[in-house]
Amino acid sequence: MKMLRCALSLLACLLLTHCSSTPVRKPVQGDSFSSAELGQSAANRIANLAMRDNLLSLQTLLDKLYRRNPAQWQKSGATSRDAAIAQVMAAIRNNGKLAALGQVRSTAALTTAFDPQFSGDRAGTLIYGLGSMLVDVYGGRTELYLVHGLDAQQLANAAYNVEVASWLLGHRQNADGSPLLLANEINSQQRNLSFEREMGKIMARLELLAELSDEKLRRSAIDFGQSLVAGPFLQFLPVSAVSSAIPAATH
């Protein structure tokens, strides 16, 4: 009988633990440890995670744009939609150029993407413009280390530029009234706002980074003050009368 009660108690504990655990709809999966992280501050790490996710958002947007506007990737000279995506994302990640644009990048590429007279790959140009703009804000790189920093105003300006691009994507039209690029769609059959949501994620990450960067000097002073206050409490305590009587060795 005692064993039965123990088994029932254990089962009850397991059920309570299972029921009280956090439900998982979208698992949180961080990157595996890399030795490169040893050269990064907490602020660097946050910025790097934001860049990683922003690049993934841009890749998602490009895939969606190419699916809705297949004529665009065919203008890129790539042999397939996937190849066109890889071509644009490689140019962004490697701080390179798109052959069709020459030296045009960042906000100049954004202007080109929404120019009604432009006859090239409008979708690829848009995403390349956004991506190369983010890389420029990061000083020509996609990862930051201790010697690197971010400018709060540049981040805020980039967030604003993404907002403008999102608005133009939904409103800029050809001479005949058709959209330059098919993206968000609201009609009696469906509501497709996935483009706007993905753009919103990029804006939110940039705006948060801008706020954090603006506070970096204040936070450094606060962190230093906290270390001074906490210092007296981070001392080894004696475990016996004998050990407390032994002075610390000097070297």
Residues 6 or more apart from 118 whose CB is under 8 A from it?
A: 112, 125
Cα 209 to Cα 39, 79, 92, 195, 199: the distances in Å are: 19, 37, 20, 22, 16
Compute the distance between CA of residue 134 and CA of residue 147 in angstroms, rounded to an integer. 19
Which is nearest to 132 in space by CA: 161, 153, 152?
A: 161
pLDDT of 20 reads 53
If you write DSSP's letter for every residue of 178-227 in order, what string do you get? -BSS---EESSS-EE-HHHHHHHHHHHHHHHHHHHHHTHHHHHHHHHHHH
Question: What amino acid occupies position 136?
Answer: D
Question: From first to last of its 251 residues, what are the pLDDT tens digits of the chain?
Answer: 665 565 556 556 655 555 556 677 667 666 666 777 788 888 999 999 999 999 999 999 999 999 999 999 999 999 999 999 999 999 999 999 999 999 999 999 999 999 999 999 999 999 999 999 999 999 999 999 999 999 999 999 999 999 999 999 999 999 899 999 999 776 667 667 889 999 999 999 999 999 999 876 555 555 555 555 555 655 666 676 655 555 555 55
Three-state secondary-structure class, residue 72: helix
Strands, E assignment, the chain: 185-186, 191-192
pLDDT of 36 reads 76
